[in-house]
Amino acid sequence: MHRQQSNAQRRSACIPLLHLAQEQDGHLTDDAMEQIAELLDVSAAEVLGTASFYEMFKRHHVGRYLVTMGSVKSESELIELVNWLVAKEAG
């Protein structure tokens, strides 16, 4: 039972470490996930599985703005949002 608790504790530490790694690089690199796995003494597949499960973790660099399908309801709303962002960037 003690071994199971320590595994659960190590896995629960994965999310805060993934957040730190993503803050540092802007996204999760393979190297960062391998280092987290080594630090927590879990497999790299477990860390990747955790990172893949949660939408908040990005495996690749994302732009300044991230528009998800759920954040706009129609084509016209998407066009309006893009126009607003372009105007905002232009000053």
Alpha-carbon distance of 68 to 66, in angstroms, equals 6
Per-residue pLDDT tens over the stretch 50-85: 999 988 899 887 777 766 777 778 888 888 888 988
Q: Which residues contact 61 (CB under 8 A, 6 or more apart)?
A: 26, 27
C-alpha triplet 78, 79, 82: angle, nearest 5° = 85
Quick one: pLDDT at residue 78?
85
Domain ranges of the chain: 1-60, 63-91
Inter-residue contact 82 to 64 (CB < 8 Å): no
Residue 7, both tokens:
């595994």
Per-residue pLDDT tens over the stretch 17-40: 999 999 998 899 999 999 999 999
At 4, the pLDDT band (50, 70, 90 cuts) reads low
Instruction: Return the CATH class of domain 1-60.
Output: mainly alpha
